[in-house]
Amino acid sequence: MTKKTMIVTGASGGMGLVCAQEALALGYDLILVDLHAQGMEQFAQENRHQAEINCYALDVTSNQAVVEFAENITQHGAIDALIHTVGVSPNMTSWQRIIDIDLIATAKFLEAVRPRLAKHAAAVCISSSSGYMVPENEAIEAILADPMAEDLFYQLEQLPGKPLENTGLAYSYAKKALRFYVANAAKAWGSETKRLVSISPGLINTDAGKKEFEASENFEQMIASIPLARLGVPDEIVHTALFLVSEKASYISGCDILVDGGMIAGMGKAV
**Contact residues for ligand NAD (CB under 6 A)?**
10, 12-16, 34-36, 59-61, 85-89, 101, 126, 128, 201, 203-204, 206-209
CB of 39 to ligand NAD, least distance (A): 6
CB proximity list for 57: less than 8 A, separation 6 or greater: 33, 34, 35, 36, 37, 40
Provide, rounded to whole angstroms, the least separation between the CB of residue 21 and ligand NAD: 13
Which residue, 85 or 253, has its beta carbon nearer to ligand NAD? 85
Torsion region of 235: left, alpha or beta (phi above 0 gives left; psi -120 to 50 gives alpha): alpha
Least CB distance to ligand NAD at residue 72 (A): 15
Neighbouring residues of 214: CB distance < 8 A, sequence distance ≥ 6:
none
Q: Which is nearer to ligand NAD, 58 or 185 (CB)?
A: 58
Query: Helix, strand, or coil here: 143?
Result: helix
Q: 9 — phi, psi (to 5°)?
A: -100, 155
**How many residues make up the chain in this entry?**
271
Question: For residues 118 and 222, which CB has a smaller minimum distance to ligand NAD in the complex?
Answer: 222
- Please, what is the minimum distance in Å from the beta carbon of residue 246 to ligand NAD? 20
Of residues 194, 196, 156, the one with CA closest to residue 174 = 156
For ligand NAD, give the closer residue by CB, 61 or 96. 61
Cβ 160 to ligand NAD, closest distance in Å?
Answer: 27
Cα–Cα distances (Å) from 37 to 11, 17, 58, 81, 164, in that order, read 9, 12, 8, 21, 31
Q: Which is nearer to ligand NAD, 41 or 192 (CB)?
A: 41
